[in-house]
Every structure is written in structure tokens, then in C-alpha cells.
Amino acid sequence: MKFSAIILFLSFFIVINFVLTQSANLDISKFGGKPNADIAKALTSAWAEACASTTAVKIVIPSGTYQMTHVEVKGPCKAPIEIQVDGTIKAPPNPEDVGGEQWLRIGYVDHLTISGEGVFDGQGATAWKQNDCNKKFDCKLLGMNFGFNFINNSIVRNITSKDSKHFHVNVLGCNNFTFDGFKVSAPGDSHNTDGIHIGRSTDVNVLNTDIATGDDCVSMGDGCKKILVQNVNCGPGHGISIGSLGKYKEEESVEDITVKGCTLKETMNGVRIKTWPNTPSTITVTDMKFEDLTMDKVSNPVIIDQEYCPWNQCTKENPSKIKISKVSIKGIKGTSGTKEGLVLACSSGTPCEGVEISDVSLTFNGAPAIATCTNVKPTITGKAPACTAPTTDKKGSAPTTDKKGSAPTTDKKQKQ
């Protein structure tokens, strides 16, 4: 008697426990989401139900091909939410038909997971043709695949972002946000299709991610703190970039950025820090670590450019006031596409400080690549090229088509 009562109690307890710990699955088909149709409404309804749930919920987009117009969902929600995407979701090719600047825009949530082997296909080819940002200062903004805004403790795992119309991902105001096994793919000549742009965020990790795109693979704007970019393959693309910084008064400092164990293949830059001259802001850039990087025919493997000034929008009379300090450049190998493997062009007003270079073995056409240094006295250890003075004004070669410094884009990015 006693024994069976215990068994009964235990099995009851196990069942209850199972019900409580198992997160409920919400298949979008329950909300009318069907292959080959627009699932925007179904996903929005599924989110509303998930967000109201007091226990963890998983929204599932099963395998199949779907269409989707702009979706914007927000928290705060009552419990963790996972969106598992196994299908391929396609955006309308015409930017005007998307219905928002960010195709999938998620904000103000804690404990979000996006997982699965699914693909978000921005179908950007039409938009790239309309994109005039390489010619015009004030150009049209076309849909980004993802906008993650003010999200904490969250992870994006394994899914693919394909052919975004503009940036693939914009991360703004997030804390503890991880990309793991994420994939970005777009052609090398698709303008402004940055892989992951991060701004004003703390503790963001980009891990084990393959990025092939037409602009920066990862770009970090002002207010980035504690960012780790590790085991990322970049190429084609413009490299991994910090900045541009210093164009606006209200910018926040950048600190503690580590880029390590990454491979860059035939990209414009490897790792780059760029700041505008004649800056209104006096922010600092400190604690940068660029380590164990492999370059494969990268035009500018390591570059600090404190005279970044596309389209001659500024004068170079007054130097940048942005102080760059504590930069470690360590274990950089492979091939450079130009003879300058390292270009450290620091500000004459605020020279770089605490720059350490060690174990750099880059070659250009079989010969060791050189390092040029201005307004910086790096500490060099191990095998690394000695500093030489730049022979020509290399800054002129900074890509003029790169438009992240332009006022409209940056403003827009920060407001999102």
C-alpha cells in the first residue's frame, strides 16, 4: 500500500515535472503559416502567444520554402523564447514591398534563441542594383535582414543570412549576445551588405561563423565593449572593422575588443581601426587584441587609419582627437596583397600608445611585407617587421566607396 502510494506519487511528480520543464512547441502552421505563402502574420501571432507564456516556448518554422514581409516583434516577454527555423524564408525582391527597414526586427527581449539550419534569403539582387551609396553621400536605405535591438542574454545559432538587401545583421544596444555557427552569404560585389554590424553593445560574441559578403564581415561602431570575434572566416568582404569613429559628438568609447583565430581570404582589409580627422568627439579606443590571424591575399592585413575621410568630406588640417591605446597585434601570418602588411597611421594630435607587435610574418609576392608607422612607437617582440615611414600618402587609398562613415546611415543605425 505504502509502496504503491509512493510509486503513484513519484510518477505523478515525474509527469508534472516533465510538463513544467519541457518547453512547448508552437508550430507556425497552427497560426496559418504555410509553405509558399507570407508567414509574417503567423510568426507575429506565434510570438504574441509565446511572449505571454510564463514558461519557455519554442516557435518552430518547419522545413519548406516560405515568403515573408516585414515582421517586428517586441518584449518584454514572460519567459525565454526560441525560434527554430528549419525552412527557407524569402523576402520580397523589391525593397518597397518588404514594408520596413529591417526585415525581421526583434527588440527588448531577454533570453531569446534563434536556432536551426534554416535560411533567411533577403533576395537582395534587385536592391543592390538600386543601391547608389557608392556614388551618393545621401543614399537610400534598403532592408537589412535582421535588426536585434536592446536584447539581452541571447543567442543566434546555425541559421544562414543570405543576400540581404543592406546589412545582414544590425545589433544595437544588446548585452550578452552570441552568434555561434552563424553563416552569412552574399556576392563580393553586393554593396553595403555588412555581415554583422554591432553598435552600443556589451559582451557580444561572434563565434565559428563563416561570412562571405560585399562589405565588412564584422563592423563595430561606437559604444562597443567586450566584443569577441573568434574562429570567423571572412571572404569575400572588406574585413573586420572598428569604426568609423569620430564623426559625431555624442559617440561613446570603444573598449575590449578581441579578434582571434580568424582567417581572412582575399578581403580588402584584415583588421582595421578607422577614425575621422577633425573630430568633434574625444572618445577613446582601448584594449584591442588582434591575435592569431591568417591572411590570404588581404590588401591591408592590419591597418589603423586616423585620417579616414571618404569623399573629402572633411579637412585633414586638424588631427583626430580620438586616442587609441593598448593595441596588441600578435601572431599574424599569411599573404598581403600590398607591400605594407601593417599600416599604423595614428593621429598627430593624439599619438597611439601601448601598441605591441609580435610574431608577424606576412609576405607580399614572396618577400616579407613591411610595416609603416606614423605617430606611434610600437614595442616589437619576436619576429616582426620594423617600423618604416610611409613613402606615399597611403590614406588616399582608403576605400572611398565605403560608406559607413556617412551621416545618414550612421544616424539611422543608432536610432534603430
Ligand X SMILES: *[C@@H]1O[C@H](CO)[C@@H](O)[C@H](O)[C@H]1NC(C)=O
Annotated catalytic residues are 238
Residue 133 or 172: the one with the smaller Cβ distance to ligand X is 172
Q: Which of residues 75-104 bind ligand X (CB under 6 A)?
A: 75-76
Alpha-carbon gap, residue 234 to 217, rounded angstroms: 6
CB of 386 to ligand X, least distance (A): 42
Residue 154 or 241: the one with the smaller Cβ distance to ligand X is 154
Q: Nearest CA to 263 among 213, 205, 189, 211?
A: 211
CB of 120 to ligand X, least distance (A): 16
Contact with ligand X (CB under 6 A): which of 93, 99, 181, 331?
181
CB of 153 to ligand X, least distance (A): 4
Q: Are the C-beta atoms of 271 and 249 separated by less than 8 Å?
A: no
What track of x and - describes contact with ligand X for positions 37 through 76 (by CB under 6 A)? Answer: --------------------------------------xx
- Rounded to 5 degrees, φ, ψ at 343 are -125, 115
Choose the stretch contacting ligand X; rule: CB under 6 A; options: 154-162, 255-263, 290-298, 408-416.
154-162
CB of 265 to ligand X, least distance (A): 20
23 touches ligand X (CB under 6 A): no
Choose the stretch contacting ligand X; rule: CB under 6 A; options: 173-181, 250-258, 290-298, 350-358.
173-181
Q: What would the grid cell of residue 378 be?
A: 610600437
111 touches ligand X (CB under 6 A): yes
CB of 178 to ligand X, least distance (A): 7
414 touches ligand X (CB under 6 A): no
Q: Which of residues 115-134 bind ligand X (CB under 6 A)?
A: 115
Choose the stretch contacting ligand X; rule: CB under 6 A; options: 32-40, 136-144, 148-156, 387-395.
148-156
CB of 106 to ligand X, least distance (A): 11
227 touches ligand X (CB under 6 A): no
Contact with ligand X (CB under 6 A): which of 158, 335, 374, 410?
158
Residue 74 or 333: the one with the smaller Cβ distance to ligand X is 74
Residue 85 or 133: the one with the smaller Cβ distance to ligand X is 85
Identity of the amino acid at 52: A
Residue with cell string 508567414:
39
Residue 152 or 361: the one with the smaller Cβ distance to ligand X is 152
Residue 271 CB neighbour total at 10 angstroms = 30
248 touches ligand X (CB under 6 A): no
Strand pairing of 119-121 and 284-298? unpaired
**Residue ranges that bind ligand X, judged by CB under 6 A:** 75-76, 108-111, 115, 152-155, 157-158, 175-176, 181
